[in-house]
Amino acid sequence: MANRIKVLHIIYDLSVAGAQTVVMNILRGMKDDDKYEVRLIVRDAPNGSKNDADVIAEKLPVVYCNYKPSTKIPVVRTMINWFRCQRLFYKEIKKYRPDIIHTHLTGILPFTVIPEKLSKAKLFVHTLHSDPYAIEDRYVKWARFAFNKLHFYPVCVTESQVPKAKERYGISDVSVVHNGIDLNRYSVDESREDIRKEIGIPQDAFVIGFVGRLSKIKNLSFLIKVFHEYQKGNEKAFLMIVGDGEQRSHCEQWIKEYGIKEKVVFVGQRNDVERMYRAMDVFMLTSFYESNSIVTVEAQCAGVRCVVADSIPQSVVVSDRVNRIALDAPIADWIRAMDDQVPHDEIACSLTKYSIQNGINELRDVYEKNF
């Protein structure tokens, strides 16, 4: 496989999150590609995640920059860290000499556009993993600069994201590359009873589950409020929260105020999220924004009924087991949906659209179209 086109992906870290999972699946799917040689640069040092462990176990082509921001000289600290981060990226880019550089997550652009343009790469691609209107203005300016002045090619992750990206970033040409997941991973043979016993959930509980980062954008105060109302009419209701984040303490406080602490279990950040879906009766997501919701696809792949906000794009409805409810709808509507008393949303596409192989094929099309 000599003389392959060298592709370098760049991301912040390899924590267990949506964009990181996508990048890991790209590495796996293109590891032995006949045309492309793929490598990943990670800004931060390993954080002990499953992805970090898999890099070693699977011998994936990953380089860690081990960036550590300075905590000295407050007046110019931001500028020092900006230069330090760019220097690390430039060092690794120069060493690899890629033909294509592909960045992920808009917040990384301020640290990469200059090192990228100083390289001799022929194509620059950037994937917009988040809703364009959920991105801070300071990063939007960098994205506009990258797309419109430096000729970076934009990629969206769902069709519904495209018009928002065009308007927000002032672009006209954009492709869609669906986030690919390992569809076989979510067929878990282990019994629901064993998993529930392990995490301390009663066997006869009606489990409503959340999976994701505990952040403001997930609208967790509303999720907990809905659960509080639901459990009034279902004494077996139980809430399982899978994930961690800056809103953890807030969630604990809301739960305490509602007096439902004994009906909620935090299982934290998990490396076996497919097993957590197995323990659920209903998956619930109340996010303010989601460009794509790979966890909603995962839940369906695991056979779990989903009750999610209408902010979740219709394009991730890949089964007849999803209800998308308006965030401003009465809580009674959410309760009826959780009791499966509301007509399900129409299927938007086949689950196979979110397979790793389909995502790889779409990505190859982007490279071949623009290289």
Strand order in the sheet with 264-268: 264-268, 237-242, 206-211, 282-285, 305-309, 322-325
Q: Is 169 helix (H, G, I), strand (E, B) or coil?
A: helix
Q: Which CATH number fits domain 183-353: 3.30.420.40, 3.40.50.2000, 1.10.760.10, 3.40.1110.10?
A: 3.40.50.2000
**120 has a pLDDT exceeding 90:** no
Which of 108, 344, 280, 134 shows the shortest CA–CA distance to 218?
A: 134
Q: Are 25 and 51 in contact (CB under 8 A)?
A: no
Averaged pLDDT for residues 274-287: 97
Residue 296 tokens, joined: 């909603």
Averaged pLDDT for residues 262-267: 96
Taking only the tens place, the pLDDT of each residue in 29-63 is: 999 999 999 999 999 999 888 889 999 999 999 99
User: Where, residue-wise, is CATH 3.40.50.2000 in the chain?
Assistant: 5-180+355-370, 183-353
Length of the chain (residues): 371
**90 has a pLDDT exceeding 80:** yes
Which of 297, 275, 311 shows the shortest CA–CA distance to 350?
A: 297
Q: First CA to last CA across the chain, in angstroms?
A: 19
pTM of the model: 0.86
Averaged pLDDT for residues 224-244: 97
Percent of all residues in the chain with a pLDDT value above 90, rounded to a whole number? 81
Percent of all residues in the chain with a pLDDT value above 70, rounded to a whole number? 99
Q: Is 156 helix (H, G, I), strand (E, B) or coil?
A: strand
pLDDT computed for residue 271 by the predictor: 81
- 93 — alpha (psi -120 to 50), left (phi > 0) or beta? alpha
Distance CA 146, CA 192 (A): 48
pLDDT mean across residues, the chain: 93
Q: Are 306 and 283 in contact (CB under 8 A)?
A: yes
Give Cα separations from 350 to 118, 202, 301, 316, 318 (angstroms).
42, 34, 11, 9, 5
pLDDT computed for residue 1 by the predictor: 58
Domain 5-180+355-370: give its CATH code.
Answer: 3.40.50.2000
**18 has a pLDDT exceeding 90:** no
Report how far Cα 114 is from the mean position of its chain's Cα atoms: 26
Taking only the tens place, the pLDDT of each residue in 287-307 is: 998 878 889 999 999 999 999
Q: Are 128 and 290 in contact (CB under 8 A)?
A: no
Residue 277 tokens, joined: 């879906």
Taking only the tens place, the pLDDT of each residue in 132-150 is: 888 889 999 999 999 999 9
Instruction: Find the angle CA(269)-CA(271)-CA(277) to the nearest 5 degrees.
Output: 85
